[in-house]
Structures are given as structure tokens and as C-alpha cells.
Chains A and B, each alone.
Chain A
Amino acid sequence: MGLDSNFSPQKRTSSLPTTVAKGRHSSGRGGPPRGRQIQKTFNNIKITILCGFVTILVLRGTIGVNLSSSESDAVNQNLIEETNRILAEIRSDSDPTDPAQPERDLFLNETYALGPRISSWDSDRKIWLENNPEFPNFVSRNRPRVLLLSGSPPNPCDNAIGDHYLLKAIKNKIDYCRLHGIEIVYNMAHLDRELAGYWAKLPMIRRLMLSHPEVEWIWWMDSDALFTDMVFEIPFEKYKEYNMVIHGYPDLFYDQKSWIALNTGSFLLRNCQWTLDLLDTWAPMGPKGPIREEAGKVVTKFLNGRPDFEADDQSALIYLLLTQKEKWMDKVHIENSYYLHGFWTGLVDTYEDLMAKYQPGYGDQRWPFVTHFVGCKPCGSYADYPVERCLRSMERAFNFADNQVLNLYGFGHRGLLSPKIKRKRNETVSPLEYVDKFDIRRSSSDGTSRLSR
């Protein structure tokens, strides 16, 4: 009891450690050591618990449960929400300024035409060329004037990575075309509501042919096709008698009637009446809606291995060329001596091998001219192949080609997957000797191909 009364002021004031000491000091002289020890221990424990409690409070106060309580985080949050809203608006196809117009698909009994029929294009064009000698149909060194046509949809891709690879692909095409004197038209407009999707190339090809009579060849190239041989030049003299050059396999085409016998991802069309007629025969299978669906069924039945889906331009072309062989095939050249279109899966893993064994200029399996990423669809949401494989391969193909461009400047990528470059040749005070040696344009101009070096 006495002990208790002695120590009760201690208990009441024991919230601060200092009072404990005072308390103990005042009653230090008396009391059995055992009791004191217990009290001491008790006090120590109290102090420990108290300090622990205060520490936890302090820590909780600083790092706490609510992490975004600071001002900058709140601003960030607002910014994210605002930007997401804008991005969603940009990505959507809706147009606030466009009055909703009742547009319907064509019925099955309506015929679609790309434009009014033109029947004297060859002679009209010849006269025009004679009257306009400052716009000849050939460029320097007697090469025909070629226009490369490619394109992509006007809205952003479903994912940012799609736009990035579209950008890399157009850079790749710019590089090849600069080295070979070819002009590029990159189309981002849907010219024809009915011929949307893969069919959009038809009205654009026709439009360009008619507006540019000085162009001899129009070269359509998909946005997912990359040039991988910067030196190879298309042997146009070989095609003097032809009006269409397309990559494919004659046995697949004539014998097996396969729906992938030809590839319309990269092909050439001569600017002539024959082509206009071909386009006029090809287009009617394209209009969106019941016509395209019906046409899809027809071509699936006719061609080998084709899955069931609406008509695409490639199947439609194969169908029309097969059913009207006698009319068209004498002017169509099915090319497979070089990769005017090279299916990517068999090519992309061989790049290092090729770099060790061969050099640019072959265009065939020794150094593919074009690597075409069929099925990767980087602008969409889903690919037909694992995405990692697609993107990795596209990056490799891009760098493989870029190395050939950077070679003139004395640089090269550090690896086929590396965006960074490394120096391959030191700077010099007489750079022109390297220009003579490494400029691709010059080597193809003086007739000696790089292969003979």
C-alpha cells in the first residue's frame, strides 16, 4: 500500500520520461530492492511502448496511407485524365463537324464504277508527252519514271507502337526512293467510301495515273513492307512487254489456284489503257456491303485454301486473272527471281547470316529486296502472330536496311535490335573518296554493279 501511494504520482505523471527520473529520485532512498526493480522494469516497458507508439504515429504521418495527398500528384492526376480524354477523342472516328448523311451500301444489282470509262488513254497520253517535253516519262540514265504509292489510315493507330512503325516504314521507303530517283505519294485519305480497307488502293492508283501521265510505272507498296536491299534496282528493261509485275509462283497460280499465289502487297502497274481496263474489271468486287460479301463467297469457292471472309483485293485479282487468263495473262509477269514481296517469317532470322556471307544488291534470298510483314498488322489491336516476334522482326529489318543507308556516312547500328549507332569509319579530311566508294546512287549509275566489287 505504502508503495502504491508512493508511486502513484509516478504513474500519473509518467507520460514524460523526465518525471519518472524525478519520481524515482524522490523516493529513491526507501523501498525493498525487489519492488523497485519491478517498478523499474514496468516503467521501462511503459517508456518503450510509449516511444514505439509515438514513432509509429510519426511515420504514419509522413509516409502515411494516402500517397497522393501531395499537390504535385493531384496536378499529375488531372493532367492524365485530361490527356486521356483528348486522346480518346482523337482516336475516335467520329467527326463532330460532319452532318450525319444517310449513306447506304450498294445493292447487289448495282454496278460500281471507278469513274467514267476512258478508252483512248494510250494515244491521249502519248500526245500529252509530246506536248510536254519538260515532263518526260523517263528520268536520268533512261530509267522510267516511277511513282511509289503507299498509305495508312488518317486516324491514329489503335496503339502508339503502330504509328511508330508506320513512321519507320515511311522513312525506309524515303531512303530507298531517294537513292533510286523514285517519287513517293503517301496517301492518308479515304477517297472512296465504298472502296475502303485493302481496296482503297484502286481508286488512288487510277487517280494518280490519270493526273500524272508522265509517270510510267505506279508501284503500290503496303505500309507493312520494308525495303531490305537498298542497292537492288528493279530491272525495268525486263518488263518492256508487260504491264503488270507481281510477285508470285506460277505453279501455285495456274495449277493449285491458291489464294496466296500472288501478293498484292508490292506490285507494279504500267500507266496505260490496259491497266485502266484491269482496274475497271477488278473494282466491282470491292464495294463494301453485300457486294463484297457475295464476292467473298465466290472467290472462297473458287480458290484453294481461302478462309471465309469478305472479298479482298488479292483474292479478287487472282480470281479475275484466272477466269480471264487469255485476256490478261500475256501482259502480266509473275516475278519470283527476286523478292519484290518477301514473306517475313523465313527471312528475318537469316539477316546475320546474310551479312556474313553476301552483300547488298542481289534482291533474292541472298539479300531480300523487300521484307513484307504480312499478318503483323501493327496499326491494329491484334496480330496473327505473337506481337513480340512481329515487333522484334520489324525492328531488325528496319535496322538491317538502315545500316546500308548509314554505311555512306560511316556509321552502323550497334546490333540489329539497337536504336543506337556506332562509328565504323573515322572522320577524315578528304571525305570525297568515301563518297565515291560507298554512295549507292553512284555505283548504280556508272553501270558497274556493286556485286562486281
Chain B
Amino acid sequence: MLERFMGPRRMYQIRRLVRHGKLTALCLVMTIVVLRGTIGAGKFGTPEQDFDNLRVHFYASRNHHRPNRVLEEVRSESSSEESVALTSEAGSNSYGTFDISKILVDEGEEEKRDPSKPYTLGPKISEWDEQRAGWLRKNPDFPSFIGPNKPRVLLVTGSSPKPCENPVGDHYLLKAIKNKIDYCRLHGIEVFYNMALLDAEMAGFWAKLPLIRKLLLSHPEVEFLWWMDSDAMFTDMAFELPWERYKDVNLVMHGWNEMVYNQKNWIGLNTGSFLLRNTQWALDLLDTLAPMGPKGKIREEAGKLLTRELKDRPVFEADDQSAMVYILATQRDKWGDKVYLESEYYLHGYWGILVDRYEEMIENYHPGLGDHRWPLVTHFVGCKPCGKFGDYPVERCLKQMDRAFNFGDNQILQMYGFSHKSLASRKVKRVRNETGNPLEVKDELGLLHPAFKAARASSS
């Protein structure tokens, strides 16, 4: 019908146009499909995502939304005694097939902070020293010094309340806390193992700040708070910290003055193991460090500032150690006189240079030195046994952690006449026979009844 209006030639041209149009549209669609397949179209999804969505849709009963675990569970052989699995109606009796996420409940809402106001750890307290002194006077049963030169110390460490992503991570955390319990029992130090995230904004390395502040304020009887990372182990059980050396300082960290103040090197000190005195000064320092911590943009921006200002720092979000270096280096006159950077013994000892020398140390030296000859602390920086990926090969990290643990444990076991068969072995052997006169036996290191544990006549 249109032909009558426009004539056959016109009609023919229109039809040609339509054909060309169809072909163009077809080619366009094909191009988009090919490009989507090769370089992806971002928001609109790639064919892989389509495939995944289809898979999820059709196989929704399997747990595809569970995050990919690189390290899978090692299926154990069932023990010979319990080879019959008792499966009842209510569920299976086998731990091998259980998924912990089924029982942990994530309820409630996070506290929402007003984003327009700057972050604070809490309301500003300004006469903490007086408050604390008053409290100590009223409570003579809880003195802050438990010996003539011995302050009351609380060792604080912690880990996540959820199981580790690495199947053997929890085992190494258990060994590490046993190691710390042993040292602290010998030295009259109390232990606080934290598994609570007090402030969701200060997660990760920054979680220690609200925790430390809370503990200082809730335990006025504690003179020194000793923070120790969960991946650090005591390897010298006989070394007692030189408390008199620190009587005029408020913060003791392992590090070197030149590296912090002159070079502003981000590893000039280490915040994996440090002592903080319970004073107003400490509260002020925590308040100064905290603003770089809140998760998100603030931490990212702070990270960029720290990478710019500090030497050799890689690019990543702000961490408490870099923040400490920065604050000390830029505000030395305010904080420097109360900070002691200890390098005479390994208040923190980087594991890489220590672990291969243990046998050499056993042959040539003895516990009680605390330094390069017999390190107080071996700190497995970068190993991250609880996480999926560390900065070092898994095998080296775990094997060396076993060795460091046994190295320290030998000093405990020798009190009772035992020792590990070798630094790599979990088995122990007797090194001192049982006797009918146990009280006459003195252990080699004198750790059974050491002088630093001796109580005052009326102490608690």
C-alpha cells in the first residue's frame, strides 16, 4: 500500500534501509557480546558471573555463598575405637563435617557514631593520676607494687572470637597462650586474653587501643600494661624485666632512637610487645594515636600520610605502629622524655634472624640473658597463622613456631626433669630421675622458686 504513495523505487530504498538497519543491529549485538566476554562490562556483568548466578540459582542448596577457603579441612581417618558414626535424627556426631557458621549468630546492630564529630576513644579524662592515687590509698589490699622494685603487671593479648580460617591456626594460638601463661606464672604477672572487639570502627591492629584504655581505667591497681601480640612467644623464661630502669618512663618499646627520630623509619620500633604505665600520659597518648584508626576513608588517608612521611613504608592503610613512629618523631618534645626505646634485649625479637640459631644458643649460652644470645621474645611477624595467607611460606612459619615453642617449653619442663626430644619433636624425655628427696633437688635455672616471685610478708 505504501508503494502507491512513494513509488516502487522509494519503497525499494526503504526496504534496503531496513535491511541495513537489521544487519547493523545484529553486528552491534555481536560486538557487545564478544567484548563482554573478553574484557567484561563491569556493572552489567560478565559471562562468568552469569554462569555463577545460574549455578547458584539451580544449586542453591549447596553453600556457594560461603567465602572461598583456600586451605581446606584435612579429613582425618576415623580412630579405630569409634569407627561407627552415631548419626541420630537431630544431627551428625561427626566433627569433620560440621560447619561452625551454622551456630554462631550475628545479631544486633553496630553502634552508629555521628560521622560529623571526630573519633574519640571516650570522654576526655584529665585527672586520672589523682583519681588513681586516691583509689590506691583507699584500697591497700590492691597495691600497684607487689615487690620492692616490682610493679603489678597485666599482660594483655588476644585473638578473634571466631575460629581461625587456617585449620591449624587455633592450635598455634593455644600453644602461644600456654607459653605466655608459663612465663607469667613464673614472673608473677597476670594475663588477660581478649576475645572481644570493643569498637567495630577500630578493628584490626587498632583494636588494642580501645581495649588498652578500657583496661587501664578498669584496673587502677595495674601499674604496667604489657601488650603482646598473639604471634609472639617467650623464649627466655628466666629473664626478668629490668623494672628499675623504667622507673621514670611511661612507655617501653623495642626499637632504636636513630631509626625513629632521625630516619623516621616505620620499623624503627615495634608495637607487638610494649609496656605502658597506667597514667594520664598514657591516656593522652592513646587519644593522640586514635584519630588515625577509624576504618574506612580516615584510615586510608592516614595511611597515605604515613607512607609519605615515613621511610620505606609500603602503601597500605594506617597501622598503629607507623602511627606511633609518626607521633613520636613529629612530637618528640611532648612525648620523647617518657619513652624508652629498648634495644639491649629482645622485648620484641624478629623471628627471621633468631629461629635458626636456637641450637647454637643452647650450646653456647643459657637462659636469663634476654638478648641476641638468648632472646626474651621471638615474634613471628608476618606469619599470620590464624589467617589464610601470610607474608612467608606456611611450612617455614609453622615449623619454626613449633621450634620456638619447644625452645621455651624446655625451660619449663626442665623444672620437672623433662625436656623435648628435639626442638622439632612434640615428645618429651626424662632428663632427671625421680628421687626420694624431691625437696633437695634444685632445677638448673632456679625457676621453681625464683627470687622475682618471692612474696613480701604482707603482699597480695
Task: Give A residues with C-beta under 8 Å from B.
Answer: 17-18, 21, 24-25, 28, 47, 51, 54-55, 58-59, 61-63, 76, 79-80, 82-84, 86-88, 90-91, 95-98, 115-118, 124-125, 128, 132-136, 139-141, 152, 154-164, 166-168, 170-171, 174-175, 178, 181, 183-186, 188-191, 207-208, 210-214, 378, 380-389, 391-392, 395, 402, 406, 408-411, 414-415, 417-423, 427-432, 434-435, 439, 441-442, 445
Contacts and interface: CB of A to CB of B under 8 A. Distances in A.
B330 interface: no
Contacts of A431: 125, 217-218
A190 B428 contact: yes
B190 interface: yes
B74 interface: yes
A428 B122 CA distance: 7
A135 B162 contact: no
A62 B141 CA distance: 74
A213 B33 contact: no
B95 interface: yes
B436 A381 contact: no
Nearest to A168: B195
B122 A427 contact: yes
Contacts of A117: 436
Contacts of B457: 133
Interface residues of B, number: 123
Interface of B: 12, 16, 19-20, 23, 26-27, 30, 33-34, 36-38, 46-48, 50-51, 70-74, 76, 78-79, 82, 85-86, 88, 90-96, 98, 100, 102-108, 111, 122-125, 131-132, 135, 139, 141-142, 159-164, 166-171, 173-175, 177-178, 181-182, 185, 190-193, 195-198, 214-215, 217-220, 394-395, 398, 409, 413, 415-418, 420-422, 424-428, 434-439, 448-449, 453-457, 459-460
Contact of A435 (B182, B218, B454): B218
A421 B198 contact: yes
Contacts of A415: 105, 107-108
A409 to B, nearest CB: 5
A391 to B, nearest CB: 6
A86 B398 contact: yes
A160 B172 CA distance: 11
Given A62-B38, A163-B170, A178-B190, A442 B139 contact: yes
B181 A186 contact: yes
Contacts of A378: 95
Contact of A155 (B19, B72, B107, B426): B426
Given A21-B16, A211-B438, A63 B47 contact: yes
Contacts of A166: 170, 174
A136 B434 CA distance: 25
Nearest to A17: B23
B258 to A, nearest CB: 39
B301 to A, nearest CB: 26
B108 A386 contact: no
Of A86, A167, A383, A417, the most chain B CB neighbours within 10 A belong to: A167
B454 A55 contact: no
A136 B449 CA distance: 11
B92 A163 contact: no
B360 to A, nearest CB: 18
A63 B161 CA distance: 39
Given A154-B426, A186-B181, 19 more contacts: A59-B37, A62-B37, A62-B47, A86-B398, A95-B427, A135-B454, A160-B170, A163-B168, A174-B192, A184-B181, A382-B78, A383-B95, A387-B95, A387-B98, A391-B100, A391-B103, A415-B108, A419-B162, A420-B107
A87 B167 contact: yes
A183 B90 CA distance: 40
A158 B170 CA distance: 12
A382 B436 contact: no
B62 to A, nearest CB: 16
A18 B23 contact: yes
B71 A184 contact: no
A171 B181 CA distance: 10
Contacts of A128: 439
Given A421-B196, A430-B131, A161 B98 contact: yes
Given A159-B96, A178-B191, A442-B139, A381 B76 contact: yes
A387 B92 contact: yes
A212 B448 contact: yes
B164 A164 contact: yes
Contact of B16 (A25, A161, A421): A25
B168 A414 contact: no
A391 B51 CA distance: 36
Nearest to A421: B196
Contacts of A21: 16, 19-20, 23
Of A24, A87, A135, A434, the most chain B CB neighbours within 10 A belong to: A87
B74 A91 contact: yes
Contact of A387 (B79, B93, B398): B93
Contacts of B27: 17
A61 B46 CA distance: 13
Contact of B135 (A83, A140, A432): A432
A133 B457 CA distance: 8
Given A160-B170, A418-B105, A422-B108, A80 B76 contact: no
A215 B34 CA distance: 78
B37 A61 contact: yes
A231 B162 CA distance: 26
A186 B168 contact: no
B19 A160 contact: no
A381 B82 contact: yes
A178 B16 CA distance: 90
A161 B163 contact: yes
A178 B154 CA distance: 10
A80 B167 CA distance: 12
Nearest to A416: B105
30 contacts: A47-B26, A63-B37, A63-B51, A87-B71, A87-B167, A95-B424, A95-B425, A96-B424, A97-B422, A97-B425, A115-B434, A116-B434, A116-B435, A134-B456, A159-B76, A160-B170, A161-B100, A174-B191, A211-B448, A213-B439, A380-B79, A381-B95, A382-B86, A382-B94, A386-B88, A388-B90, A409-B215, A411-B196, A414-B108, A419-B195
A429 B394 contact: no
Nearest to A378: B95
A78 B440 CA distance: 57
Contacts of A82: 394-395
Given A25-B16, A163-B170, A388-B98, A395 B104 contact: yes
